[in-house]
Amino acid sequence: MKIIEVENLEAGYNRQPVLHGLSFGLDRGEFLAVCGPNGSGKSTLIKALQRLTPLLRGTVRLDGKNLFRLKPREIASRLAYVPQVSEAIFDFTVEETVAMGRYVRQKNRLAGESVEDRLAIEEAMKLTGVTALRNKSLSQLSGGERQRVLLARALAQETPVLLLDEPSSHLDINFQLQIYHLLRRLQLEKNKTILVAEHNLNLCLPYCQRLIFLKEGRTVAAGSPLEIINREIIRQVFDLEVELRENTSSGLPEISFIHSLSQTTVQAEPEITDRS
């Protein structure tokens, strides 16, 4: 049984669909990347899978159960969400923010943190490199540091599924690679199921088993990187002319940007990471 099943999904805002008829499944322990230009529906999909975006049509099943019939606590025990970095509304410390990930695991919050809670919080901060920041408030952090804190909060939640919206945003190149190495490690060592919305194709290609390309809320292509990374599909999705080269260590394609095919509108480009 697939851990997530999506059938003919339409979701959007003010009864206007952003996603149109999306269907796909996510196997337990799989790493899936959803890619596409700005406005393609990546973030809307991530939010729809948590019931944060109104469902207009279709079905989403989580562990075989209708997502829209589950209680919020049931969803939170299965799915952890890492949003794009935004301004902090409440000025919690790093440690307090990470500890919020344990709320769904606590049967009696008045009893305080258990030993299990404390171990999970410490491990999450260590894995994401924010232990030394524990007493700093979120307002004191850079965007990249805050991104890592949000990931630590999701890890402390200890869910089988991680949903991440642009996890490389606001991070320097070193931390982008570290985050993806960590996600891959969680997949292999803890059998985490991972779904990321990502604009940086070269960054996610070595780590994900499958890709879904979206454009204007519709699936353009889906498959393994070797199956769907080609000039024609990149041209169709991003309106870009690119060159492809083979990564000598992984055997996977890498993308070099040439030029935009559109002369009248600004298009999102897949970010290029030089791995030579």
pLDDT in tens, 203-244: 899 999 999 999 999 999 999 999 999 999 999 999 988 888
Q: What is the mean pLDDT of residues 181-208?
A: 93
Q: How far is Cα 7 from Cα 76, in angstroms, rounded to an integer?
A: 21
- Assess if residue 230 is contained within a domain: no
Q: What is the mean pLDDT of residues 116-124?
A: 96
Q: How far is Cα 86 from Cα 84, in angstroms, rounded to an integer?
A: 6
- Assess if residue 110 is contained within a domain: yes
Asked if pLDDT for residue 268 goes beyond 50, the answer is no
Tell me how many degrees the CA angle 163-215-8 measures, rounded to the nearest 5: 65
- Assess if residue 273 is contained within a domain: no
CATH number, domain of 98, equals: 3.40.50.300
The pLDDT tens digits of the residues spanning 13-28 come to 988 999 999 999 999 9
Report the pLDDT value the prediction gives residue 78, as an integer from 0 to 100. Answer: 96
Residue 49's domain comprises 4-225
- Assess if residue 16 is contained within a domain: yes
Report the pLDDT value the prediction gives residue 110, as an integer from 0 to 100. Answer: 64
- Assess if residue 248 is contained within a domain: no
Asked if pLDDT for residue 265 goes beyond 50, the answer is no
Q: Compute the mean pLDDT over every residue in the chain, rounded to the nearest whole number.
A: 89
Report the pLDDT value the prediction gives residue 87, as an integer from 0 to 100. Answer: 58
Asked if pLDDT for residue 127 goes beyond 50, the answer is yes
Backbone angles phi, psi at 150, to 5 degrees: -65, -35
What does the DSSP assignment read for the chain? --SEEEEEEEEEETTEEEEEEEEEEE-TT-EEEEE-STTSSHHHHHHHTTT-S-EEEEEEEETTEEGGGS-HHHHHTTEEEEPPP---SS--BHHHHHHGGGGGG-S-GGG---HHHHHHHHHHHHHHT-GGGTTSBGGGS-HHHHHHHHHHHHHHT--SEEEEESTTTT--HHHHHHHHHHHHHHHHHH--EEEEEES-HHHHTTT-SEEEEEETTEEEEEE-HHHH-SHHHHHHHH-EEEEEEE-TTT--EEEEEEEES-SSS----PPP----
Report the pLDDT value the prediction gives residue 8, as an integer from 0 to 100. Answer: 97
Number of domains comprising the chain: 1
- Assess if residue 251 is contained within a domain: no
- Assess if residue 160 is contained within a domain: yes
- Assess if residue 82 is contained within a domain: yes
Q: How far is CA 166 from the centre of its chain?
A: 6
